[in-house]
Copies of this chain bind each other. A is one copy, B any other.
């Protein structure tokens, strides 16, 4: 059969169909480090293995819709950052049949997702250095996503997605250090971050991690949007 056949009739009869799925790679930040949300399988085969959460794509859904629904069902979150990563299509990637799966990655605010929901689904947050073996090719997906997030974070301020409404500069520094897996110079970090002029300092202090307390900041949505639209370089050291 020639590739010409793709558009040679409008019924596309005789071509081989496949199952299409999505898998979600969900990152969160607990104010200490960046973490990945994994789910324990409750059914055979591979019962008790850790896995990404996913779903088959229905006839009336786009991939994005399907991934959104998964995210909503398992985290209760809507309208969160969700981006296509890559489509995985190895012929034998799934012993259950020919399944092609598009991996999505999501950045969520850990403070918005209920611990109960996570528990109910037998899910768990893992630090990037303690990720267990995963079913199918999910480890490959995660590896790819971590690489991607390290690149992405340099070109896009990810604060809105991962940080709570109010946060301290030490917290956001820890976030970046956790992604880069590298210590950053406090003075330079603060200088650069503040120079973007997208943060507004509140009068409140967070004293949960020091006696002196650190000022809480908010993102200035307006300036943040201008900043993103104008294009910028968020690289930090």
Contacts and interface: CB of A to CB of B under 8 A. Distances in A.
A11 B97 CA distance: 6
A18 B57 contact: yes
A89 B70 contact: no
A64 interface: yes
A12 B54 CA distance: 14
A180 B20 CA distance: 36
B63 A3 contact: no
Interface string A23-61: 000000000000000000111011000010111111111
Given A7-B43, A62-B91, A89-B63, A100 B54 contact: no
B21 A20 contact: no
14 contacts: A8-B43, A10-B96, A10-B97, A12-B99, A15-B56, A16-B57, A17-B20, A18-B57, A18-B59, A20-B20, A63-B89, A63-B100, A84-B86, A87-B87
Which 6 pairs of residues, A with B, have the shortest CB-CB distance?
Answer: A17-B17, A3-B55, A10-B96, A63-B89, A62-B89, A15-B56
